[in-house]
Amino acid sequence: MDAEHVNRGPDGVVVDPSDPATQRVARSFGAAASVYHRSRPGYPVEAIEWLVGDAERVLDLGAGTGKLTEALVALDCDVIAVDPVEEMLEELEVAVPGVPRILGTAEDIPLENASVDAVVAGQAWHWFEPERAVPEIARVLRRGGVLGIVWNSRDIRSDWLRQAGEIMHERHDASATLEAYVQIGPPFGAIEEHRVEWTERMSRAQFLDLVRSRSYFITATPADQAATIAALETLLDTHPDVAGAAELAVPYVTRCFRARLA
């Protein structure tokens, strides 16, 4: 559980993104921006191609350290990155030099009206306040523009990952509950969905860094952090699927949602 006790519903969804405790947890990522970028997986090309279609100018909203930005640049999109955390954007500049970086939020986007073909949010929609964010996104989109939302989730059908999730106090399978809070509504049309299953190969140290990049870990006490890492190391030493492995095969599910501006 996040140390700040973020208010979540029964499906794990943040109830009020504007709540001060939620805001503190969201901004806690700045304290671990380097480890976040180093450890978090990227996105499969197939998923991002589907998400943005033929869009040329794309706003990466809640861009963080630029994981989604990298994928968009690789597709030759003209990308603008917006995030509320300066440290994250500093990491983005290192990872994807030359991409315009702007401090801002989904509820107050610092762009002109009808200035982009697509707005995308990677691992970020659950931090937005939809009642304010949806009108702002519609404002900056050109007519017929696309709003794309994407999440990478570890595939906990793998037993060792399920056990790792329990150690990390993950209370729900995010990949199974997205429909509950991917609610967009007018002035956007119907939501389409696309799913990609893939595997990321990483070292044991990289996997532990992935854990260290999560908000619940960043905001936990040093004692709780140490206990979590120790328990995970024991799991990696003893679980028959991964014991002695020099490299871990971590299965992911990438779920993409898009809706077009009417």
User: What residue type is 174 in one-letter code?
Assistant: A
- On whether residue 186 sits in a domain, the answer given is yes
The CATH number linked to 112 is 3.40.50.150
- On whether residue 176 sits in a domain, the answer given is yes
Cβ-based burial of 57 (10 A; exposed 0-12, middle 13-18, buried ≥19): middle
Rg of the chain over all Cα atoms, to the nearest angstrom: 18
Q: Which residues contact 205 (CB under 8 A, 6 or more apart)?
A: none
- On whether residue 236 sits in a domain, the answer given is no
Per-residue pLDDT of the chain (262 residues; tens, 9 = 90+): 233 344 444 333 444 445 544 444 444 444 455 554 565 688 999 999 999 999 999 999 999 999 999 999 999 999 999 999 999 899 999 999 999 999 999 999 999 999 999 999 998 898 899 999 999 999 999 999 999 999 988 888 889 999 998 998 775 455 455 666 688 999 999 999 999 999 999 999 999 988 887 777 888 899 999 999 999 999 999 999 999 898 999 999 999 999 999 8
- On whether residue 45 sits in a domain, the answer given is yes
Cβ-based burial of 38 (10 A; exposed 0-12, middle 13-18, buried ≥19): middle
DSSP type of residue 180: G
Residue numbers of the domain that contains 38: 20-154+170-200+251-260
How many domains is the chain partitioned into structurally? Answer: 1
- On whether residue 38 sits in a domain, the answer given is yes
Q: Using an 8 Å Cβ cutoff, are 42 and 61 in contact?
A: no
